[in-house]
Amino acid sequence: MKKTFLALFPLFLAYQAQAQSPDPTLMADAEAIEEQVIEWRRDIHEHPELSNRETETAKKIAAHLESLGIKIQTGVAKTGVVGILKGDNPGKVVALRADIDALPVTERNDLAFKSEVKTTFMGSETGVMHACGHDTHVAILMGVAEILSNHKDKINGTVKFIFQPAEEGPPPGEEGGAKLMIKEGVLKNPDVDAIFGLHINSATPVGTIAYKPGGTMAAVERFVVRKNFSYAH
């Protein structure tokens, strides 16, 4: 968690400051906010919401960004939240993106913050769980927003915070996710010059940062198998 959280800063600063070394005060701020980020993450973990249904999660994000004085837009691609932080100095626009949805998975553990949420998904009773780590992504980006909003004087350009719904795919028959956000103009006004996404990964050793330009961890594809199907000749 801690290492992952810190991971975003070198990437971001390397871009913004053209390879100057990261500011030590930002690193100290990241250490200072860690407990709060863990608290957010546990709260979001306990209250997961499925794709295109992330209304309460979005409210928490929006309230936090607004408390920081960040200009926000809500209801983007249904439940998405976008925040814009203008730095004091001119420069390019960098977007930082976190996905916010949970999965139709029943949580089986005894953690104090375990999810007890139940729902009906595609006709079946199921639990709802942040089983893919998006709770951490939300908390991390909320923390990053707080730190960067306190350092506007050091930002060359603009930071766009993108909290994206429905990364796991919208429910059947609905639009959603990154595609709908882009369709609704999330990469425009101001136009995004570069974007960073982050995903935690339990297969990567703690303390290791893995990164890749371009696409990675692309969405799942779905197919339907029908019984009694025969080709027409």
Instruction: Answer yes or no: are the C-beta atoms of 58 and 125 closer than 8 Å.
Output: no
Instruction: Answer yes or no: are the C-beta atoms of 136 and 144 closer than 8 Å.
Output: no
CB 202, min distance to Zn ion, A: 11
Active-site residue flag, 184: no
Active-site residue flag, 99: no
Q: How far is it, in rounded angstroms, from Cα 43 to Cα 120?
A: 22
CB 99, min distance to Zn ion, A: 6
Contact residue for Zn ion among 132, 139, 166, 186 (CB under 5 A): 132
CA angle, 155 then 157 then 161, to 5°: 85
Q: Would you call 75 helix, strand, or coil by DSSP? A: strand
Q: Which is nearer to Zn ion, 132 or 178 (CB)?
A: 132
Helices (H) and strands (E) in the chain, counts: 5, 7
Q: Which is nearer to Zn ion, 55 or 201 (CB)?
A: 201
Residue numbers 90-119 binding Zn ion by CB under 5 A: none
CB 168, min distance to Zn ion, A: 7
Size of the site for Zn ion (CB under 5 A): 1
Catalytic residue among 54, 101, 146, 168: 101
Q: How far is it, in rounded angstroms, from Cα 77 to Cα 176?
A: 6
CB 223, min distance to Zn ion, A: 20
Interacting stretch for Zn ion, rule CB under 5 A, among 6-14, 112-120, 132-140, 219-227? 132-140
Q: Which is nearer to Zn ion, 83 or 177 (CB)?
A: 177
Chain residue whose CB lies nearest Zn ion: 132
CA end-to-end span of the chain:
57
Measured between alpha carbons, how far is residue 142 from residues 136, 197, 207 in Å?
A: 10, 14, 21
Q: What's 42's DSSP letter?
A: H
Which tokens in the block code for residue 151? 């350092």
Q: Which is nearer to Zn ion, 40 or 70 (CB)?
A: 40
Q: Which is nearer to Zn ion, 42 or 199 (CB)?
A: 199
Alpha-carbon Rg for the chain, nearest whole angstrom, is 19
Q: Does 166 bind Zn ion (CB under 5 A)?
A: no
The set of catalytic residues is: 101, 167
Residues of this chain that bind Zn ion (CB under 5 A) = 132
